[in-house]
Homo-oligomer: A and B are copies of this chain.
Amino acid sequence: MNNLKKIALQLFAFLFCAHTISAQTPADWVNPFIGTTNYGTTNPGAVVPRGMVSVVPFNVSGNSPLNQTDKDNGWWSTPYSWDNKYFTGYSHVNLSGVGCPELGVILLMPTTGAVNGDFREYGSEMSEQVAHPGYYSTYLNKYGINTEVSATERTGISRFSFPAGQSNILIDLGNGLTNESGASIKIVNNREIEGWRMTGTFCYNDGTERPVYFVARFSKPAEEFGVWKKMPKMGPEAAWSATSNKIKYYKNFKAEMAGDSIGSWFTFNTKANEEILVEVGISYVSIENARLNLNFESQNFDFEATRKQAEEKWNEALSTITVKGGTDDQKTVFYTGLYHIQIHPNILSDVNGQYPAMESFEIKTHPNGERYTTFSLWDTYRNLHPFMSLAFPQQQLNVVQSMLEMYDESGWLPRWELNSTETHVMEGDPALPVIVDTWFRGIRDFDIEKAYEAMYKSATTPGAENKIRPDIDHYISHGYVPLMSQFDNSVSHALEYYIADWNLAQLAKELGKDADYERFLKQSRGYKNYYDTEFGIIRPKLQNGEFMPGFNPRQGENFEPSPGFHEGNAYQYTFCAHHDMDGMIALNGGKKNFVTKLQAIFDDGHFDMANEPDIHYPWLFNYIKGEEWRAQKELNRLMATYFKNAPDGLPGNDDTGTMSTWIVYAMMGIYPVLPGDMNYAIASPVFDEVKIQLDQNFYPGSEIIIKKSGAGDKIKDISLNGKKQKSFFIHHTDLVKGGVLEINF
């Protein structure tokens, strides 16, 4: 950590503590700065639960000395960094907690003096940052402008307090986080502008491009306005033109304007401290829908009402779980986790229900509720969806309904869906465990036969026609995916397929499809193909049945490429057959050897808290009677080490809430180790009491209380409503009947 960062963290601590003294509502326990450095890639922008719009301070471009690293001097995947101070506006569509650059566009920037459309020049040092759910504020040192933002589901609102003189509000459609480019704008009048901006190429995958449409309205008519465009470099004509390769300004221009890098400005003569507000409506369907969203959700420039409404929505969402005990920092880590869980998946549909169909340019209408987007399923299937099922079952139902719509529209369930495009990021078939898990948790108001058909399709279609499992053929014929090229991640692919197929088997059984049950269950056991007795670990295998030569189980640490494994190494993938615990334990030499090997993962530094494949490892000790204390011990250590009330308080990418779900579960003392398996493993809650409100539209109980008692350092016994439990697991069906789960130390 360098000095600048230290000073910044100290300043932050001061500001945040000053703010939380009067904390009373759950929202007051959220620190939106958690995860905004150390690759957490969250941001402190204003957003409401599952909002399409987030209004995020964009400080990751310009290669300014005020920035540590930004998109103009290195890899970058987030619109905001705690380490940066060069502010170039508020972006209105953003991703939180992802590992590839995308969105981060429609930038609203207040300035003073002469209009300048070059973000390398118009940016300002930012200071006095304040973030609260649904609210963010920063002061722009260069201009003496105070800025505040809030949001509704589909609109953003900005309040700028200007000094006296010429004040400008810029809308920059050139700059942005995405690697797509191109935009079109039209100034409607001196208070309104409309347009759209291209997005796409998430993780450099072509075929994922979408325009995002907007309408922006100003609280005051502009005295002057215009658009700008960075002109291409001309050929011989450059000798006569004043604007070749320069920004050209089109004053009072009111026709359409398009280009790779365009923007517009609205200029006002302001009195000292004069406030000008901007409301921005967003849509992925059309400018008309962006205007509709704006008209419907706008509070007519009432910033305080918008902010209050946003905060109320957060308090409602966060109140689903209340805690007693724990330190202030623990409460903050917990509620910030719960906050992050409510950002993605997010709303894609407009107020009239319209949205762009999956992998198509047709406009469809979601029957009721909202169509969701941003499904980082390789991450979220592990814990976020089981969590949504428990705490927000209506939303999880909407998740599954959205996924089935995607199947209807494109012929395939999603893997990593963004704004109705399949980005093909990561691997496996994670839609299956999400759907099966949801069904088994008792959320069943969807067409299970259609869901089965969709899941069956990706589990059985030959590779040449299989969009989700293109390397399925050898997997089906021989039980594993062979290594065909050095970094094809073949083992990772197969391990995901095993879990998916195990889930499908469980559902097949439930639906009376016994042959399918047998088939998929057998398929799910194929993981044993990879077990190499030489190393006592899994190892990539060739098509001819031989193990890959030259194997180094450590390779893959620190995100370097590793043959057979994606974002990890053999250690982090070896215990990923937890859908067959008995089999996996036997394979590893029985219970004792299994415990030894699992413990060594932690002791020898092979455990990676920053990425998903092994995040269930700590709870695997619960499967060996008498060894559960190891889970408690490792979890206490991991929670204390990697999760903090600080900008670097997440161990790595939040992965659209997956890491946040991990810490929320861990702090509550329960964890759904295996999606599709209704048993929660139990470990050490950090709170004296956790109360989860149950949605009685879905569950028999009204609330479940997880109570910590005793003063020992290990769990002595567990009881549900006074009845002692035989294992360190509690079944979902029992839990959602409500009552008290007492964990006695």
B196 close to A256 (CB less than 8 A): yes
Residue-by-residue, is A427-471 near B (CB-CB < 8 Å gives 1, otherwise 0)?
000000000000000000000000000000000000000000000
**Bound CA–CA A285/B400 (angstroms):** 45
A285 to B, closest residue via Cβ: B255
Known: A253-B361, A259-B260. 6 other contacts (CB 8 A): A179-B241, A184-B258, A196-B256, A198-B257, A232-B260, A255-B361
Most buried by B among A196, A253, A258: A258
Which residues 225-261 in A have Cβ within 8 Å of B in the complex? 229, 231-232, 234-237, 240-243, 248, 250-251, 253-261
A235 close to B73 (CB less than 8 A): yes
A258 close to B182 (CB less than 8 A): yes
On chain B, the residues within 8 Å of A240 by CB distance are 204
B241 close to A201 (CB less than 8 A): yes
Any B CB within 8 A of the CB of A101: yes
A739, chain B: closest CB distance, angstroms: 52
B72 close to A235 (CB less than 8 A): yes
A253 close to B184 (CB less than 8 A): no
- Stretch touching chain B among A82-90, A135-143, A206-214, A688-696: A206-214
Any B CB within 8 A of the CB of A183: yes
Any B CB within 8 A of the CB of A181: yes
On chain B, the residues within 8 Å of A248 by CB distance are 206
Give the total of A residues in contact with B, Cβ under 8 Å.
47
B71 close to A235 (CB less than 8 A): yes
**Bound CA–CA A278/B609 (angstroms):** 60
**Which of B210, B250, B251, B258 is close to A259, meaning CB atoms less than 8 Å apart?**
B258
Any B CB within 8 A of the CB of A262: yes
On chain B, the residues within 8 Å of A204 by CB distance are 237, 240-242
Any B CB within 8 A of the CB of A75: yes
On chain B, the residues within 8 Å of A229 by CB distance are 181-182
Residue-by-residue, is A357-385 near B (CB-CB < 8 Å gives 1, otherwise 0)?
00001000000000000000000000000
For this complex, 20 residue pairs linking A to B, each with C-beta atoms less than 8 Å apart, are: A71-B235, A71-B236, A71-B237, A72-B236, A75-B236, A76-B236, A179-B234, A179-B237, A179-B241, A182-B258, A196-B256, A201-B243, A204-B237, A204-B241, A206-B242, A209-B253, A210-B255, A232-B261, A255-B356, A259-B259
Residue-by-residue, is A281-295 near B (CB-CB < 8 Å gives 1, otherwise 0)?
000000000000000
**Bound CA–CA A368/B240 (angstroms):** 40
Residue-by-residue, is A258-282 near B (CB-CB < 8 Å gives 1, otherwise 0)?
1111100000000000000000000
**Bound CA–CA A182/B255 (angstroms):** 13
B211 close to A255 (CB less than 8 A): yes
Any B CB within 8 A of the CB of A113: no
Any B CB within 8 A of the CB of A74: yes
**Bound CA–CA A229/B181 (angstroms):** 9
On chain B, the residues within 8 Å of A261 by CB distance are 232
A74 close to B236 (CB less than 8 A): yes
A624, chain B: closest CB distance, angstroms: 43
Residue-by-residue, is A176-192 near B (CB-CB < 8 Å gives 1, otherwise 0)?
00010111100000000
A227 to B, closest residue via Cβ: B209
On chain B, the residues within 8 Å of A356 by CB distance are 255
On chain B, the residues within 8 Å of A260 by CB distance are 232, 259-260
On chain B, the residues within 8 Å of A253 by CB distance are 209, 361
Most buried by B among A101, A209, A254: A209
A258 and B183 in contact (CB under 8 A), knowing A204-B240, A236-B75, A237-B71?
yes
On chain B, the residues within 8 Å of A181 by CB distance are 229, 231-232, 259
On chain B, the residues within 8 Å of A182 by CB distance are 229, 257-259, 262
**Bound CA–CA A76/B210 (angstroms):** 37
**Which of B74, B206, B234 is close to A243, meaning CB atoms less than 8 Å apart?**
B206
**Bound CA–CA A250/B182 (angstroms):** 13
A250 to B, closest residue via Cβ: B209
On chain B, the residues within 8 Å of A232 by CB distance are 181, 260-261
B258 close to A101 (CB less than 8 A): no
A566, chain B: closest CB distance, angstroms: 16
On chain B, the residues within 8 Å of A262 by CB distance are 182
**Bound CA–CA A207/B211 (angstroms):** 28
A98, chain B: closest CB distance, angstroms: 15
On chain B, the residues within 8 Å of A196 by CB distance are 256, 258
Shortest 9 CB-CB distances between A and B: which pairs? A254-B361, A182-B259, A258-B258, A182-B258, A260-B260, A184-B258, A184-B184, A204-B240, A211-B256
On chain B, the residues within 8 Å of A235 by CB distance are 71-73
**Bound CA–CA A207/B232 (angstroms):** 17
Residue-by-residue, is A90-133 near B (CB-CB < 8 Å gives 1, otherwise 0)?
00000000000100000000000000000000000000000000
On chain B, the residues within 8 Å of A76 by CB distance are 236
Which residues 649-681 in A have Cβ within 8 Å of B in the complex? none
On chain B, the residues within 8 Å of A72 by CB distance are 235-236
On chain B, the residues within 8 Å of A71 by CB distance are 235-237
On chain B, the residues within 8 Å of A259 by CB distance are 181-182, 198, 258-260
**Bound CA–CA A256/B211 (angstroms):** 7
